[in-house]
Amino acid sequence: MKKLIYLLAAFLFIVQGGCTKLDQEFYSQVTPETFFQSEKDILAALNRPFTHARWYMGADRWKLQECAADAFAITTKGRHWYNGGENERYHYHRWTADENWVWQTWRGTLMGISLALDAKNDLTKLDYGRFALTQADKDAHISQLNTLIAYFYLRGLDFFGGLPVFTSLDQGALPRSTDQEVFNHIEGLLKEAMTKLPGKTGGQREEGVLRQGAAAAMLAQLYFNAEAYIRKPMYAECMQLCREIVDGKYGPYSLDAAWNGPHGFKNDQSPEIIWSIPSEFNKLQYDWFFADFYHYNTRQFFDTDMGANNGLHLTPSRAPDSSLYTTRLGNPYEKFAPTDLRKQVYRYLGSGNYEGMFINGPMLTRAGATIKGGEEYKDQPLVFRDQVARFSEVGPGKKYASISNLTSRMSDGEENTGVRLVKVPIPPLAENTLRWGADMPVIRLAEIYYMLAECQWRSGDAGSAATLINAVRKRNFPGGVDPNPATAANLDAYRFLDEWLVEFLGEGRRRTDLIRWKKFTTEAWWDHTPSGSEHLNRFPVPTQAISGNNSLKQNPGY
């Protein structure tokens, strides 16, 4: 892993610069034949677009998937986070073609494709024999890049529909291809890659290398959501691929015995990881979320020196009067059973071990001392609530006479609003060498189990679907005693969406799941009311993109 991270880090500055400039400059006097002097140069070129993938998988892409859906929000907290109404526009499905998250995602998608095509162009021209490498090595490298290109197109198809399909860097400004043409391009890239990529062998750690299992999983994802992409259900095709992955055709993957095995400091050793992006302290860190997720004083809770800006949190499960919301979607914290090991407050236990994955209730230091607020609750104990309301403004002489008068909207947040997710463990300063030691899981076997389960249910086999869901669920409870297992009788659209929500909370996929189940624009959650506008299942082509390429056509409805 360290070798790969060092090579990736060497190109981080280049790629970060590329994320702010779409036009690349190429110099004819530097050719692949003269630039590449060793295997190390080849690996550096191969891994360069993967650094962009690391950036791409967080921040704005994550927010489009989660903040436009039912599990997360960035509420206005007093004088903080109104951001010109941006966060509310996503939550209430009122975004426009001028939104920055949308623009950064469009350009980031095409930049990822560009970087991968650039590396592919260079490596294709090389005589691998000069470096004591084989044709099989070359095929594997090119196939990794083809798979990465397919990944970026897959995400772009999900966000926008049709995109310009580039096969080289000298094609100029292309118009958008149709949804079907992009779908076919992704399918072709992945099918070819699956014939040339190596499979996983026993005992291999996951260090960011794309193998057959990852390509097969991406193809399964493409088929799984085909009805949303090209209006053609392909659940049978998805089911076949998922069965092959589960049966070990592409390598010996298995579910991790521990709920936090795929997310912990040593998750590169988890048998569940099919593809991950390496992370290590001070080298290509998987850390984008920290500042947005946590309160200014959370550094005292974690016993760390990192600052945060108190933005993101779970949407509330409870109204100001503490009653549970009754919408079928949303209410993420209360979707976890009381005995679920994950529902505990996060606590670092030492030596890389920890429990729980939430910050809720009184915020205390590791020694048990009270942590105090700095805004509405300045110098008062900081107590996080699974609610959104201006509780600090209730009382004699204040804005609200009683809690019954409170509203709960995106504009009503406070500094302690919302449960905070700790899916990636944070060590204290005393064990700072572990910081950002958890890699970024991109595809894990639990997703394959759930895709297979959903496909089986859709085919009429609810019993087998329940068995697969329960195989994942049981690790989340003491002694494997599940208080509410899935059954053939209780599995329906909402139960499936609850299972996807709980298992993959905060993993940047929620919008896609809601769209597949036709709930994204038709259902309510918390203070979000459904628009009923199907065109919102896709984001608009950014105004900035169209202004730079007049051949691009806008999506319907914008």
pLDDT at 322: 98
Q: What is the C-alpha separation between 373 and 366, in angstroms, rounded?
A: 17
Contact 443, 459 (CB under 8 A): no
Q: What is the C-alpha separation between 486 and 460, in angstroms, rounded?
A: 15
- Reading the block at residue 297, the tokens are 């004083």
CA dihedral 92, 95, 100, 101 (to 10 degrees): 60
Q: Is the pLDDT of residue 10 over 80?
A: no
**Can you say whether the dihedral through the CA atoms of 97, 99, 105, 106 is positive or negative?**
positive
Q: SS3 string of 197-239?
A: CCCCCCCCCCCCCCCHHHHHHHHHHHHHCHHHHHCCCCHHHHH
Q: Exposure string (b/e) for 160-175, b if CB count within 10 Å is 16 or more?
A: bbbbbbbeeeeeeeee
pLDDT at 203: 84
Q: What percent of the chain has pLDDT over 90?
A: 91
Q: What is the C-alpha separation between 544 and 51, in angstroms, rounded?
A: 25
Please, which pLDDT band fits residue 7 given cuts at 50, 70 and 90? very low
Contact 463, 457 (CB under 8 A): no
pLDDT at 31: 59
| Tens of pLDDT, residues 26-71 | 444 445 666 799 999 999 999 999 999 999 999 999 999 999 999 9
Residue carrying structure tokens 């100001």: 320
Q: Is the pLDDT of residue 21 over 60?
A: no
pLDDT at 248: 97
Please, which pLDDT band fits residue 202 given cuts at 50, 70 and 90? confident
Q: Considering only CA atoms, which of 309, 305, 314, 322 is closest in space to residue 358?
A: 314
Strand pairing class (440-444; 361-362): unpaired
pLDDT at 170: 87
Q: Exposure string (b/e) for 509-537, b if CB count within 10 Å is 16 or more?
A: bbbbbbbbbebbbebbbbbbeeeeeeebb
Q: What is the C-alpha separation between 70 and 72, in angstroms, rounded?
A: 6
Q: What is the C-alpha separation between 551 and 548, in angstroms, rounded?
A: 9
The residue-averaged pLDDT of 459-472 equals 98
Contact 408, 386 (CB under 8 A): no
- Reading the block at residue 128, the tokens are 């691998």
Q: Considering only CA atoms, which of 113, 5, 125 is closest in space to residue 49?
A: 113
pLDDT at 186: 98
Contact 505, 64 (CB under 8 A): no
pLDDT at 171: 86
Q: What end-to-end distance do the CA atoms of the chain give, in Å?
A: 45
Strand pairing class (273-277; 383-384): unpaired
Q: Is the pLDDT of residue 318 over 60?
A: yes
User: What pTM does this model have?
Assistant: 0.94
Q: Is the pLDDT of residue 479 over 60?
A: yes
| Tens of pLDDT, residues 352-370 | 999 999 999 999 999 999 9
Please, which pLDDT band fits residue 253 given cuts at 50, 70 and 90? very high
Please, which pLDDT band fits residue 25 given cuts at 50, 70 and 90? very low
**Can you say whether the dihedral through the CA atoms of 205, 206, 212, 216 is positive or negative?**
positive
HSE on the CB side for 40, CA within 13 Å? Answer: 7
| Rg of the chain, C-alpha, whole Å | 24
Q: What DSSP line would sit under 523-541, residue for residue? A: --BTTB-----GGGGSPPP
Contact 45, 36 (CB under 8 A): yes
pLDDT at 2: 39
Least reliable range by pLDDT among 7-11, 378-382, 440-444: 7-11
| Tens of pLDDT, residues 325-348 | 999 999 999 999 999 999 999 999
The residue-averaged pLDDT of 511-525 equals 98
CA dihedral 499, 501, 507, 511 (to 10 degrees): 120
Q: What is the C-alpha separation between 389 and 393, in angstroms, rounded?
A: 9
The residue-averaged pLDDT of 20-27 equals 40
Domains of the chain, CATH where assigned: 2-65+99-263 (1.25.40.390)
Q: Considering only CA atoms, which of 406, 411, 384 is closest in space to residue 313?
A: 384
Please, which pLDDT band fits residue 11 given cuts at 50, 70 and 90? very low
For all residues of the chain together, what is the average pLDDT?
A: 94
Q: What is the C-alpha separation between 448 and 275, in angstroms, rounded?
A: 12
| Tens of pLDDT, residues 280-313 | 998 889 999 999 999 999 999 999 999 999 999 9
Residue carrying structure tokens 């494709």: 113
